Homo-oligomer: A and B are copies of this chain.
Amino acid sequence: MIEVIRHGYIHELRMARPPVNALNDDLLGALIEAIEAAPAHGARGLILSGGEKVFSGGMDVPYLLTLDRAGLKACWSRFFGAGRALARSPIPVVAAIAGHNPAGGCVLALCCDYRIMARGPFRIGLNETQVGLAVPDAIQFLLRRVVGPHRAERLVVAGAMVESEQALQYGMVDELTDAGEVVTRAVRWLEELLALPSGPMLATRALARADVIAALEGFAEPELEWFISGWDSPDTQAALKILMARLKK
């Protein structure tokens, strides 16, 4: 479910679960494995890419609704594990976002070092509250870190999706390029970074990103329990049913 495409010492991990890279146990497990295995396979930089129209549609809600409580918890745990794997990566990771990127897909992108998004009518954001899910503090932290605490509060409470130009202005993504060029640009950006003296660059990076890792590691068993406990609430179930009806169209 993850295609590994080598651009020299830069490895692209392309999520490949059509049609929209909905995140389920298999995809998330494969992603974690690929991230963790990459350095040993010679990668010095990583690119996380997705589909042409949709980077990732976020969690696979129809699949989640088939799971019992233990399965649900395991799948969400794996999702946060994928975020941690990206954040902990000892080598830089760029998200190359060629299309829409809501909810869980946006979270994965926010765990990366850098985000390149397609110019055009593509939207990105943490729209969880719109579909009936609360947003844990660890995820809010990721958004706060790029747009500041007040704007993050407004975006995340409203469940707002924004177009790529707006996302760039807010700092949710770092640069825009043509949809067909996001991976090429990611390769260039990494090549430039990796041309620096390696030890000092990586040591500086580790200090700069320690807060991201700490925030994601702060999402442990009690936070997961809290998160899962909302799943059966009438608000959440009603919103998920509306979402399901829309997905079927």
Contact = CB atoms under 8 A, between A and B. Distances in A.
Given A114-B154, A174-B154, A132 B230 contact: no
A92 to B, nearest CB: 8
Interface residues of A, number: 51
A207 B140 contact: yes
Contacts of A210: 137
A199 B236 contact: yes
Given A129-B204, A207-B140, A197 B154 contact: no
B196 A159 contact: yes
Contact of A235 (B131, B193, B198, B209): B198
Nearest to A92: B157
A136 B238 CA distance: 45
A210 B135 CA distance: 13
Contact of A193 (B137, B158, B199): B158
A130 B192 CA distance: 11
Interface in A167-211: 171, 174, 192-193, 196-201, 203-205, 207-211
A128 interface: yes
B196 A158 contact: yes
A135 B239 contact: no
12 contacts: A129-B201, A132-B197, A132-B200, A134-B204, A135-B207, A136-B207, A145-B150, A158-B193, A158-B196, A199-B233, A199-B234, A200-B233
Interface of A: 113-114, 128-137, 140, 145-146, 148-154, 156-159, 171, 174, 192-193, 196-201, 203-205, 207-211, 230, 233-236, 238-239
